Amino acid sequence: MTPGWAGPAWGQPSAASAAPVPRRPTVAAEDAAYRAEGGMSAGLVVLAASVAGVSHRLAERRNEDSFAWSSAGPGRLAVAVADGVSSAGRGGEGAALAVRAASQWTAAHVPRVPAHGEARDVTGCTSALVAANERLLLAQPGRPAGPGSELATTLVAGLVEQAPGGRARACLARVGDSTGFVLSAGRTWREVFLPGGDDGPATDALPHPALGLDADVVQVVEVDLEPGEALVLVTDGVANPLRDGPSTVAPALGGVVAEAAVGRVSPVGLLAALDFSRRGAHDDRTLLLVSSWPEHGA
């Protein structure tokens, strides 16, 4: 462990984490720097944690990431993770509005994840982002949309559906650089979205002035989860260290996520690990994991 309040050092530790951060003058629950939640039911395990980056804590700013999930029926879970744009005046509010709108819309209106061999269900995968976009536009009437919006936020959202034998399938859509990974049973990571390019730029944000189901800014993927695999949605505060730390962050975080996905690490334990110390990694961090494991069957 490093000195101060930071969790384990993965790679070169951050000097900014060497001492507890100064006390902020005012704090309310919705502005908390540390948040965690989780549970398991009928074979699906879900845990999420979010921690304000050292840069925001030192600047006395709130955690601008958010996560949410909503039950969509037995063995089905709608999930969402968002990262408020740092330059936006109310990016944290935008992220909170977006994840709630997206997860609730998906749970209520997306009937299922497309089966193998079916055409990609763009309407189902994307409609949650459209709903979140409309919610953000309503929250700032008369204000400009796009990355310059006061409520600007990235968003990745979708539906996870349990299948027999510990398998699961997910449909995910995103705007911006929040992303998804799959952690294999062997604790290796694979990213499910392409990093920009033909699959859309990673710098876009909601609210978008004219977001439709066929918008170029939306990226859509379907993901198969084999027994022992976990779907992990993250903001770029986790994704970037995960990518550039293949021998440090990737195995260490993989070990914690794998244990959390089978009930051996609590949401608070996941939160403590997410507050790792790493040089240059000072952004807000949010991670939401979903897994389907045979030993947790109904």
| Secondary structure (3-state) at 62 | coil
135 closest CA partner among 96, 174, 83:
96
pLDDT in tens, 163-173: 888 889 999 99
Q: How many Cα atoms within 13 Å fall on the side-chain side of residue 32?
A: 9
Question: How would residue 293 be classed by pLDDT, with cut points 50, 70 and 90?
Answer: low
pLDDT at 294 over 70: no
Token pair of 30 as six digits: 């919705």
* pLDDT of amino acid 199: 46
Q: Is the pTM for the entire model greater than 0.75?
A: yes
HEC profile of 204-258: CCECCCCCCCCCCCCEEEEEEECCCCEEEEECHHHHHHHHHCCCCHHHHHHHHHH
The answer to whether residues 156 and 173 touch, using CB atoms and an 8 Å cutoff, is yes
CB neighbour list of residue 153: distance below 8 Å, 6 or more residues apart: 82, 83, 84, 85, 88, 91, 94, 95, 98, 136, 176, 205, 206
User: CA–CA separation, 50 vs 99, rounded Å?
Assistant: 13
Token pair of 90 as six digits: 């109310």
pLDDT at 119 over 60: no
pLDDT at 214 over 90: no
155 closest CA partner among 41, 233, 229:
233
- Could you tell me which CATH number the domain at 34-296 has? 3.60.40.10
CB neighbour list of residue 287: distance below 8 Å, 6 or more residues apart: 48, 49, 50, 81, 232, 233, 234, 238, 257, 270, 274
* pLDDT of amino acid 296: 45
User: CA–CA separation, 155 vs 158, rounded Å?
Assistant: 10
Strand ordering across the sheet containing 230-234: 34-41, 44-51, 285-292, 230-234, 179-183, 189-191
User: CA–CA separation, 62 vs 297, rounded Å?
Assistant: 38
User: CA–CA separation, 256 vs 221, rounded Å?
Assistant: 26
pLDDT at 45 over 50: yes
Q: What is the Cα 91 distance to its own chain's centre?
A: 15
The answer to whether residues 6 and 272 touch, using CB atoms and an 8 Å cutoff, is no
- H-type helices in the chain, by residue range? 54-58, 91-109, 122-139, 236-244, 249-261, 267-274
pLDDT at 43 over 90: no
User: CA–CA separation, 266 vs 260, rounded Å?
Assistant: 6
* Mean pLDDT of all residues in 177-199: 86
C-alpha torsion sign, points 42, 192, 36, 256 = positive
First to last CA, the chain: 38
Q: Which of 44-48, 57-61, 93-97, 161-165 has the lowest mean pLDDT?
A: 57-61
User: CA–CA separation, 67 vs 233, rounded Å?
Assistant: 9
